[in-house]
Structure 1
Amino acid sequence: MAPDRADDDLDARRKRLGSDLAGRRASAGRAEEKTRASTGTGYAQAVKLSSEFIAAVAVGFALGYGLDEWAGTKPWGMIVFLLLGFCAGVLNVMRSAGVIAQPQERVTRGGKTNGSERRTDGE
């Protein structure tokens, strides 16, 4: 009778290990899917932020170049607008990344948002 009992114990142990292994494989599959999704989201965020920055610098350059051609002030317009485009690009990236608040989300000391309140007291 001892060999039957040992075989029953081994079968029970094998079934328990098989169910544990199936559970771990399922959780590993879910973790892998999460990792793939977060990696794709990270790449999308990086492309979005870099394109916003490059677009701002390119618009600043184009406006400065156009002003220089029109006014004949080479290279000062291009330099000034290129720097303004760079600053605008950095600001856009910081807003998109959530480092600073959007303009409509800024709150004054009185609890009202900037630019949205209308004074009616004559001031």
Structure 2
Amino acid sequence: MTDDRDEGLEQRRKRLTAELAGKRTDDAAGVAREEQSEASRKGMALGLKISSEFIAAIAVGAMLGYVLGLVWPASKPWGLIILLLLGFCAGVLNVLRSVGMVAPSPFSEKDEANKD
């Protein structure tokens, strides 16, 4: 009777060990999927940040050029054109700084040093 009981316990232990190994592989696959989705979310956030900074710089340049044309009518077309191009250049510079291809602004480094 004890032999049957020992054999039953041994079979149950083997079955539980196999189930536990299966759960561990499922957990490892879940962790890998979570890491991949986290990397994807970070990439999406960076893309949205870069695009919004680029569009905002162009919009601010265009609005300032338009206002300049209203305040000073002699600069009507040229103020808008020049400030729109300056906004575009500022947007490109912001994108390059965000990506890390251009050194950050010295003014932003001073601000970050004062916060600490």
Task: Please give the TM-score of this superposition, normalised by the length of structure 2.
Answer: 0.72
Shift of 1:42: 1.5
Higher RCO (CA 8 Å, separation ≥ 6 residues): 2
User: Tell me, which stretches of 5 or more residues in structure 2 are unaligned?
Assistant: 107-116
Residue identity in the other structure for 1:49 = I
**Equivalent of residue 87 in structure 2, options 81, 85, 88:** 85
Q: What is the 5 A alignment of 1:20-99?
A: 20-72=21-73, 73-99=75-101
Q: For each residue in 1:74-93, what CA deviation from the matched residue of structure 2 results, as whole angstroms up to 9, or x when unmatched?
A: 21110000000000001011
Aligned residues between the structures: 100
User: Tell me, which stretches of 5 or more residues in structure 1 are unaligned?
Assistant: 105-123
Identity %: 45
Shift of 1:37: 1.4
- Where 1:75 maps in the other structure, the secondary structure is helix
Bigger fraction of residues in helix: 2
Alpha-carbon distance in structure 1 between the residues aligned to 2:37 and 2:12: 37
Task: Please give the TM-score of this superposition, normalised by the length of structure 1.
Answer: 0.68
